[in-house]
């Protein structure tokens, strides 16, 4: 099946060298489709869930780590570009991108995301 072309912006690629650990991290991702629509989601590794839980347990947030939540969350084995590209392609092939992501323009209106083209 043909996958429509897309551009991919991964927030972690803009972090300082050494800050990104693809096997244990979370990063925002914006997909721009050929029609110009932009979609945003957070990609979090399975291993990073334990890190988040431990941080919340230490800080007391989220009832001491008893729960975690995030809108537009995609759980993955790693946050590397090849992994994210493969996941986005699969979501597009299965017509699920718009279920897993939210329109990026709505997030920008709420002040949650900066325009990646401005970077």
The string of pLDDT tens digits covering residues 15-73 is: 999 999 999 999 999 999 999 999 999 999 999 999 999 999 999 999 999 999 988 99
Q: What is the pTM of this model?
A: 0.83
Alpha carbon of 53 to those of 22, 67, 80: distances in Å?
Answer: 18, 8, 22
The angle at the Cα of 102, spanning 118 to 42, to the nearest 5 degrees, equals 75
Phi, psi angles (nearest 5°) of residue 77: -80, -35
- Residue 112 pLDDT > 90: no
Domain boundaries, the chain: 6-118
CB neighbour list of residue 25: distance below 8 Å, 6 or more residues apart: 12, 44, 45, 48, 79
């Amino acid at each position: 099946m043909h996958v429509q072309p897309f551009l991919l912006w991964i927030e972690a690629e803009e972090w300082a060298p050494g800050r990104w650990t693809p096997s244990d991290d979370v990063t925002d991702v914006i997909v721009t489709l050929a029609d110009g629509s932009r979609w945003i989601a957070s990609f979090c590794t399975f291993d990073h869930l334990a890190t988040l839980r431990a941080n919340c347990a230490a800080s007391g947030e989220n009832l001491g780590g008893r729960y975690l939540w995030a809108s537009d969350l995609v759980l993955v084995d790693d946050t590397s570009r090849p992994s994210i590209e493969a996941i986005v392609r699969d979501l597009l092939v299965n017509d699920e991108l718009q279920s897993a992501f939210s329109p990026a323009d709505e997030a920008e209106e709420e002040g949650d995301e900066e325009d990646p083209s401005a970077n």
